[in-house]
């Protein structure tokens, strides 16, 4: 085993010298070399960048993976340099349960059909979530981690080196100051009446020794000053590179927002498609819903209480002929036979675009105004809409009814 005693002793001496200088500075017993204001601002900016990058990184990880145990597992795999196993998203798991439930209830039943359709949408939502997490991890989390584990570690190492150089420089300044004070004291003229010739010779010898000590201290000071200046310049260049880091993080932030926008746009489109699919066969459940629905508050309330209730605007209803709507025959709507009610109609603003599924429906454009009314016995989720000479069924969820 190669063990260098001289190097160990030298390192120990340097360590104790720095520790003593640091302690005396904290106690106010030693002078400290101050860095310029611009350098201090660069260090403060770097510390601020590091702190906020850590917080943003941590919270983004929570956003992408709320499960703490899953995050810990991914962290361990990453540290072990192993591939993280593929994990089923919550949407995909829900889709699996809905599909299995539909098979048990009967895929041909109304409930089973709906479970299958909703489950398929949940599967697509889960796949979109997986793609978003992967994109955000590559384009946003990875650059932040690279900064903390690469650039910031280099900056921290050089700052520690600069701190050690400063302590060495201040320690050399203190030694030089003490050596000059001792030299001045030894060079003082002795009193020949009270001092023997032998003591005078010793005093002259001590003065020469302190002169050598001053020269040695000045030489060490020049070396440490050069090393400190060099290290300060290296550290300054690294700290100024924080501006480039901000530019890089800004680009990554734009990519993260774009990924998140695409993800939510996909989810919105999937839910709109599901809403349209459910609306097309929602009339299947109208008969059952009407037979099992509780009586309305207006029907069950006393006459006196009903008279005191405020008037609530309702959808005008087309009158019936012989108990059957004049435009509805066996559940089939003929838009050409629909007549607006004599009591008037209501205006509605379209919230979203809607594509008509067949000739009985009316296609809609967002923000347009149409006239709407209802038919007796009609699915409550649908209304009759008119736009000029065009008529057809429209889903209520796509409309904002106006007073």
Domain boundary residue among 264, 285, 306?
Answer: 285
Two tokens at 36?
């310029």
Which of 6-20, 27-41, 265-279, 286-300 is modeled with the greatest confidence?
Answer: 265-279
C-beta atoms surrounding 362 within 10 Å: 20
Domain boundary residue among 244, 269, 285?
Answer: 285
Q: Are 315 and 372 in contact (CB under 8 A)?
A: yes
269 shares its domain with 166: yes
Q: Is residue 324 part of a domain?
A: no
Give 78-87 pLDDT, tens digit per residue. 777 777 677 7
Tell me the pLDDT band of 110, cut-offs 50, 70 and 90. confident
Q: Model pTM?
A: 0.60
260 shares its domain with 385: no
Torsion of CA 387, 393, 398, 399, to 10 degrees: 50
Measured over the CA atoms of residue 367, residue 373, residue 375 and residue 376, the dihedral's sign is: positive
Two tokens at 359?
């000739």
Domains held by the chain: number: 2
Q: Is residue 323 part of a domain?
A: no
**DSSP-derived secondary structure for 354-394:** B--SSTTB--B-TT-EEEEEB-TT--TTEEEEEETTEEEEE
Domain boundary residue among 268, 285, 302?
Answer: 285
C-beta atoms surrounding 17 within 10 Å: 16
Give 4-62 pLDDT, tens digit per residue. 666 666 666 677 677 777 777 777 767 778 888 999 999 999 999 999 999 999 999 99
269 shares its domain with 379: no
Q: Is residue 367 part of a domain?
A: yes
C-beta atoms surrounding 121 within 10 Å: 21
**Secondary-structure percent of the chain, ordered helix, strand, coil, rounded to 5:** 65, 10, 25
Integer Cα distance of 150 and 166 in angstroms: 25
Q: Is residue 11 part of a domain?
A: no
Give 195-244 pLDDT, tens digit per residue. 555 454 445 566 677 778 888 888 888 999 999 999 999 999 999 999 99
Place of tokens 């508050």: 297
Name the DSSP letter for residue 80: T
Q: Is residue 134 part of a domain?
A: yes
Place of tokens 């649908």: 382
276 shares its domain with 353: no
Q: 3-state DSSP call for residue 291?
A: helix
Q: Is residue 355 part of a domain?
A: yes
Q: Is residue 369 part of a domain?
A: yes
Q: Are 315 and 346 in contact (CB under 8 A)?
A: yes
Write out the residue range of the structural domain in which residue 279 sits.
31-189+207-285
**DSSP-derived secondary structure for 144-163:** HHHIIIIIHHHHHHHHHHHH
142 shares its domain with 268: yes
Residue 137, domain CATH = 1.20.1270.60
Give 86-109 pLDDT, tens digit per residue. 778 888 999 999 999 999 999 888
276 shares its domain with 375: no
165 shares its domain with 281: yes
Residue 377, domain CATH = 2.30.30.40
Q: Is residue 325 part of a domain?
A: no
């Amino acid at each position: 085993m190669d063990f260098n005693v001289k190097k160990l002793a030298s390192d120990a001496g340097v360590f104790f010298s720095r520790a003593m200088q640091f302690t005396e500075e904290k106690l106010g017993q030693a002078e400290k070399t101050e860095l310029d204001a611009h350098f201090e601002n660069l260090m403060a900016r770097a510390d601020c960048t590091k702190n906020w990058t850590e917080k943003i990184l941590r919270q983004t990880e929570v956003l992408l993976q709320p499960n703490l145990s899953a995050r810990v597992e991914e962290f361990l795999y990453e540290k072990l340099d192993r591939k993280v196993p593929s994990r089923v998203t919550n949407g995909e798991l829900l889709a699996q349960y809905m599909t299995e439930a539909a098979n048990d209830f009967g895929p041909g039943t109304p409930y089973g059909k709906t479970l299958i359709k909703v489950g398929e949408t949940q599967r697509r939502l889960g796949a979109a979530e997986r793609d978003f997490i992967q994109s955000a991890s590559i384009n946003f989390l990875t650059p932040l981690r690279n900064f903390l584990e690469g650039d910031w570690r280099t900056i921290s190492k050089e700052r520690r080196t600069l701190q050690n150089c400063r302590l060495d420089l201040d320690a050399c300044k203190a030694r030089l100051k003490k050596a000059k004070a001792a030299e001045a004291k030894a060079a003082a003229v002795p009193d020949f009446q009270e001092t023997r010739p032998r003591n005078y010779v010793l005093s002259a010898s001590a003065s020469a020794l302190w002169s050598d000590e001053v020269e040695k201290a000045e030489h060490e000071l020049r070396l440490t000053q050069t090393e400190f200046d060099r290290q300060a310049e290296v550290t300054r260049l690294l700290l100024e590179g924080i501006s480039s880091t901000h530019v890089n993080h800004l680009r990554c932030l734009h990519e993260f927002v774009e990924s998140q926008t695409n993800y939510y746009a996909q989810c919105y489109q999937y839910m709109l498609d599901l809403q349209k699919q459910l609306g097309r066969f929602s009339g299947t459940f109208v008969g059952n819903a009407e037979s099992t629905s509780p009586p309305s508050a207006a029907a069950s309330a006393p006459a006196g209480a009903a008279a005191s209730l405020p008037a609530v605007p309702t959808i005008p209803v087309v009158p019936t002929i012989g108990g059957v709507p004049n435009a509805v025959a066996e559940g089939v709507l003929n838009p050409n036979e629909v007549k607006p009610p004599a009591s008037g109609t209501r205006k509605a603003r379209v919230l979203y675009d809607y594509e008509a599924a067949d000739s009985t429906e009316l296609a809609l454009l967002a923000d347009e105004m149409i006239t709407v009314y209802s038919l007796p016995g009609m699915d409550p989720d649908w209304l009759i809409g008119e736009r000029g000479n065009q008529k057809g069924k429209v889903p209520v969820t796509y409309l904002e009814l106006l007073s």
